[in-house]
Structure formats: C-alpha cells, structure tokens
Amino acid sequence: MTIIQTVSPIDGKVLGDFEISDAQSIADKMAAGRLAADSWSKIPIKARSKSLLPFSQLLMDNLDSICQLIGLCTGKVHTEALLGEIYPLLDLLNYYQKHAGQILRYQGVPTSPFAFPGATAGIERRPYGVVAVISPWNYPFQLSVAPILTALFAGNAVILKVSELCLPVGQLIVDLFAKLDLPSGLVQCVVGDKETGEQLIDAGPDLIFFTGGLHSGRAVMQRAARHPVPVILELGGKDPMLVFADAQLDRACAAALYGAFCNSGQVCVSVERLYVQQPCFDQFLGMLLAGVAQLKVGNDPYGDLGAMTSTAQIEVVQAHYQDAIAKGAQASGPLERQGNFIKPVVLWNVDHDMRVMREESFGPLLPVMTFSDDAEVLRLANDSEFGLNASIWSCDIEQATRVASQLNVGSWAINDVIKNIGHPGLPFGGVKQSGFGRYHGAEGLRNFTYPVSGLTNRSHLPKEPNWFPYSEKGYQNFKGYMDFVYGAGSFIQRFKRNRLALEAFREYSAFDLAQRWQNLKLMLTWKRDF
C-alpha cells in the first residue's frame, strides 16, 4: 500500500495520509461507474434534478466547515473560499434546476417535403457515460463540484481526481454526494499524482474534463488521444485589463487590485497584464501603489491574501519578478516571502520582452503598461498565446464594446472583473492556448452530452426515388429537381424549365399526392396568367 500525504501550505501541518489508487482499483471504479451511469441516464431529467436539489442545502448547512477545510488545504482566506468556491456552485445548481430540462430536450429539425416526403427529423442529447474530472489545486472544491454537477445533470457518472495537494477536499466532495439519494458508484474519486491521472485516462472514461496549466493540459490531451477519448480543456490565462482615460478610476483601481491579488493571484482569470491609457497613467499608478500597500497578507482567515498553495508556483513568481527587475522594471517593493505567504507587488516600466508579460505568473504580481489608443492596446492585449478572459474599463460603453469585440478571448467583461466567469448562464472557456470546450450555461451542459440525430419516415410508398434501379431518365429528372430547388431564376422560371422532371416525382410529394400536386400546378398557372 502506497501512501501520499497532504500538508497545509499555511504551517506545514499534516492534514492526512491517503492511499494511492492503483490501476486495478481504478478499473473497478470505472466498472462501477458504468453500471451507475447506465441506471442514472435512464432517469428523466426532472427526476435527476430532484435528486440533486438537496446538494444546495448540504452546502448551506456546512459553509463554515467547508471553508475551513478549503483554507487548510489551499492557504486561502475564508471569504475567498466562501465567495470563490461555494457561492458559484449554488448559482450553478439553481440555474440547471430551472433550465436543464429545456436545454437537453429533444429538438425537432424541419425537413424538406420534396426531399424527405412523409418524414420527421430531430436531435436528442445523450450522456457520454463516465466522465473523468481532473481538477486543480487553486480552486479544488468549485472546479471539482461544478463539472461534477454538470455531468450529473446531463446523465453521466463521474470519477474525480483532485490535485494531490488537496486530497482532503476530494474526500469531502465524495462524502457530500454520498448523502444524496444517488445510484451507488455515481460519484467516486481516485487518489494520486500524475501517474494516477494517466491510469485514469488509460482506464477509458467516455469524456475527460481537465482544468489546469498548459503543460499538463497538453499531456492529458496526448494521453487521451491514445484511446481516443474526447476532452474538454480549461487551461491557463494571461488576462489583460484595459483602462481607458475616461474610466471611473476609483472603481477600476479597486478592481485591478482584486483581479490581480484575490487568492494571491492564483486564479486562471487573474488580471495578469494591466494596460492604462497614457493621460491617466501616472494618477492610476499612484492609486495602485497606495492600494497595494493597504492589503493584508498572513494567516488571518478573514484577511485579504492567504498563503500560496504550491511551492513550485512560488518559484515561478520569484523567477518572473527577478527577470522583470533585471530588465529594468520598477516595483512597489521587494518580493517578500514568509513561508508560503507572498507580499503582492505592482510592477511598471515593463514590456512584452519580460516573462511577467508573456508567461502565466499565477501569483501576486501586477505588471502595468501604458498605451496611447485603441489600436495600440488591442495589439498589446492580443499579443499573447493565451486567450481566456479580459476586462475593459470605460464610461463609453459603445467604445468598450467595440474594443471587446476585437479581443481574442473566450469571454470579456466591461467595467467588472473576474465575476463574469461565475455567471451560470454564460459558457466559459478559452481560445488559443487557453484550451477549448465550454462549461456553464446551456452550451456547457450540452458539452457533457453528445447529439444523436434521427429521421422517421412515415411513407407508405413501396420505395424512395433515389433507390435502385438507376437510369439515364432518372439522372436527368434528379438534375431537374436540383435545378428547381437550387438553380438560378425566380420560382416560376425554375418550375417552367423543370416541369417534366418534377412530374416524375409527383407520387413522392408530401402534398396529399396527386390532389395537392394539381393544386400546386393550378396556383402556378394562375400566377403566370396574372
């Protein structure tokens, strides 16, 4: 038996020992998940929603204990755990309770009465089966439970692998779902590191939902391609914030500080690049420096910035800071570290040759650049391999909307920051190296299903016009039919030149056969005479 130990980034205290899942145990969980998925998918969506409804009350009944455990595992302060990890889940649950049935309902599709006489068509949504959810350490509760709930509403079973840094959170999630009236094996978890994740993929889930960094996302995609298994990837970002001179600067400054430093900058949509228009740059920079000096860092559950979760990420932040300073950047202060607590820093005199402006820092650094006009800021903002989220700040909403429409991102907000990704009705995901696929909203729920198209023919005729035998006459008639439907000219012109060909298909018409065919000809004759 191999054990993995979880320690708190706050003080190094051991939070628990967990047995690593081996390949056989993962295979057993996959088999149990398939049985659960089979029974769960047959339950109507309204009944599934009813079974999931009590999860909201479970969260409400255990808010303090959940926030406390999340804080111990990640180092984040309690308010960040409450608002960043739990509140979005309550909103998502409420949204899918109201709309999941409509989103996943059968969708009828119109059919041509000539090409498909007597037929109806439509699309149904079916769950994949077993979804592997591989979640990160920065928001281990929310970024695990949100895809789990989405998968369950869609009719799937789930096997969860949380980060090895947050294993107690994974156990908590499974324990919470165990309190619901769900089929055995519907929500399970595996324990381990990268190798365990590979084994989970090799066990053959039907869909993989991965949230994490670009390097890990590539590895997941490569592994999944061996089988192959479809993937949804929500990867990193280098999100720009664009502040125009006419913006409400007090609000924009408060947003920049929150957007850059909430959860110590460990948010996929953190403000990692701040562009400020030249006329207000000096004023805005002064406001930022005054604001960052007031932020409280330390082991206070109700402070502003808690500990960083990963020591490896701290090393990235240090490297980005040192690179910027070496290349001429100025800073609000030194990068002070006490254990895993890092004091936030504002950087200026930066450019795109610095790592802090090109690579994901995922920590409490805020680099600030100036720009002159729309064209320059769009060039700068789009000069990134990432494309996850962005914010635009201006009192001129028309201008801000015009700028937003030209940003290469998966989502944007005007005069707000980060909060837009938590809107349960808006699909969230990135472009470029920030991943693909979406979750949240109608599109997100559909992404946990696949479409099945169906056509029902109610014709009582002995055969269809395209069936054997083929002939030269049939070929010419089909050409005439295609010219009537898609050719140039008016409706009457197309009918006149293809009348004989259309006569050949009169028995297949959806218009009550001969009688309606005659009615059509009479109508066309009347139009000609008129």
Mind listing the pLDDT tens digit for each residue in 394-406? Answer: 999 999 999 999 9
pLDDT category, 513, cuts 50, 70, 90?
A: very low
Q: Respond yes or no: is residue 234 known to be catalytic.
A: yes
Q: Please indicate whether residue 268 is annotated as part of the active site.
A: yes
In order of 31, 51, 277, 354, 424, the CA distances from 136 in angstroms are 25, 27, 35, 27, 20
Element (H, E) at 371: strand 365-371
Say which DSSP state 20 is in: P
Q: CATH code at 50?
A: 3.40.605.10
Are 134 and 215 within one domain?
yes
- Residue 285: CATH number of its domain: 3.40.309.10
The reply to whether 156 and 247 lie within a common domain is no
Q: Find the mean pLDDT for residues 248-255.
A: 98
- How many alpha carbons fall within 13 Å on the CB side of residue 152? 30
398, 522: one domain: no
With beta carbons less than 8 A apart as the criterion, state whether 129 and 34 touch: yes
Q: Which of 452, 474, 492 is the last residue of a domain?
A: 452
Q: β-strand 449-457 against 119-127: which pairing, if any? A: antiparallel
In a domain, 438, yes or no: no
| Domain stop point among 399, 431, 452 | 452
Is there a single domain that holds both residue 141 and residue 24? yes
Residues 208 and 263 in one domain: no
Q: Whole-angstrom Cα distance, residue 143 to residue 275?
A: 29
Residue 523, domain member (yes or no) = yes
* Residues 105 and 85 grouped into a single domain: yes
Whether 26 and 139 map to the same domain: the answer is yes
What's the predicted TM-score (pTM) here?
0.93
Q: Is residue 505 over pLDDT 90?
A: no
Within a 10 A sphere around the Cβ of 124, how many other Cβ atoms?
A: 14
- In this prediction, residue 519 has a pLDDT band, given cuts at 50, 70 and 90, of very low
Closest to 141 (Cα-Cα) out of 238, 63, 258: 63
Q: Which domain holds residue 371?
A: 239-420
Q: Which residue has the higher pLDDT, 308 or 530?
A: 308
**Tokens 């979760």 sit at which residue?**
309
Annotated active-site residue in 268, 280, 359, 360: 268
155 and 298 both lie in a single domain: no
Contact 451, 124 (CB under 8 A): yes
Radius of gyration of the chain (CA): 29
User: Exactly one of 80, 85, 164, 234 is catalytic; which is it?
Assistant: 234
> Do 14 and 146 have their domain in common?
yes
Residue 521 pLDDT more than 80? no
d(CA 216, CA 231): 13
pLDDT (mean) for 104-128: 90
194/255 same-domain check: no
Provide the domain count of the chain. Answer: 3
Query: How many Cβ atoms from other residues are within 10 Å of residue 107's Cβ?
Result: 12
Provide the total of helices (H) and of strands (E) in the chain, helices listed first: 20, 22
φ, ψ for residue 238, nearest 5 deg: -140, 65
394 in the same domain as 270: yes
Q: Are 9 and 307 in contact (CB under 8 A)?
A: yes
**132-155 burial, b for 16+ CB within 10 Å, e for fewer?**
bbbbbbbbbbbbbbbbbbbbbbbb
Strands (E), 162-308: 187-190, 207-211, 231-234, 239-243, 271-277
Tokens 């789990």 correspond to what residue?
Answer: 148
Q: What percent of the chain has pLDDT over 70?
A: 96
Region 495-513: mean pLDDT is 76
